[in-house]
Structure 1
Amino acid sequence: MASLRLDIVTPVSRIRTADVHMVVVPGTEGDFAVLAGHAPVLSTIRPGTIEIYAHPSAEPERITVDGGLAEANDTSLTILTGDIKLLG
């Protein structure tokens, strides 16, 4: 199973770096899921909750963000945001 490299970055620090199965992002045009092999995309993010799935059957880790940018390609997803709140 291929994995996706996730980086979540704020102006102050790198919040999370991990290899994950899937991430659901609250895009301004609607939520979208990113898995390994995703086509290149750059999207703005609305305030909402990012769901991080470590593996296919995992319960998601949830992180709220106040908006930002997401850049995805076939091997990685980088999220740039201002403020976050870890929900577990």
Structure 2
Amino acid sequence: MAAKLHFSLVSPERELFSGEVDQVDAPGSEGDFGVLAGHAPFMTALKEGRVTVYNESQKKVYEVRGGFADVTPEGFTILAEQAAEVV
């Protein structure tokens, strides 16, 4: 079984997602990127785009507008200026 990544997506209004996932793809200001468990730590600004959360055979998609992404040994956190789930 592959290691899981702890991921949190937070907007000014509320926390939209928090949990253990397989992978997260996000729109970095210098290009889109993906994060898996064990990723090297980094921080980057986000541009407008979609954050895709993969967990086993499920996928959730969120639209974000700006903010920051922070990858640490403990997990991956996105602090978005605006965010909403795409349904």
Distance 1:59 1:20 in 2: 10
Q: Which amino acid aligns with 2:10?
A: V
Distance 2:55 2:33 in 1: 17
Matching residue of 1:73: 72
The offset of 1:26, in angstroms, is 0.4
Distance 1:70 1:34 in 2: 11
The offset of 1:59, in angstroms, is 4.6
Q: CA RMSD, aligned part only? A: 1.2
Matching residue of 2:38: 37
SS in 1 for 2:25: strand
Q: Which amino acid aligns with 1:33?
A: G
Q: Which amino acid aligns with 2:14?
A: S
- Point out the structure with the larger strand share: 2
Matching residue of 1:23: 24
The offset of 1:77, in angstroms, is 0.4
The percent of aligned pairs where both chains have the same amino acid is: 33
Stretches of structure 1 that go unaligned for 5 or more consecutive residues are: none
The answer as to whether partners of 1:70 and 1:78 remain within 8 angstroms in 2 is yes
Post-superposition, which runs of at least 4 consecutive aligned residues in structure 1 deviate over 3 A? none
Post-superposition Cα deviations, 1:64-83, rounded to whole Å, max 9, x if no partner, equal 00111000123410000122
SS in 1 for 2:77: strand
What TM-score comes out, normalization by structure 2 length?
Answer: 0.91
Matching residue of 1:48: 49
What TM-score comes out, normalization by structure 1 length?
Answer: 0.90
Q: Which amino acid aligns with 1:77?
A: F
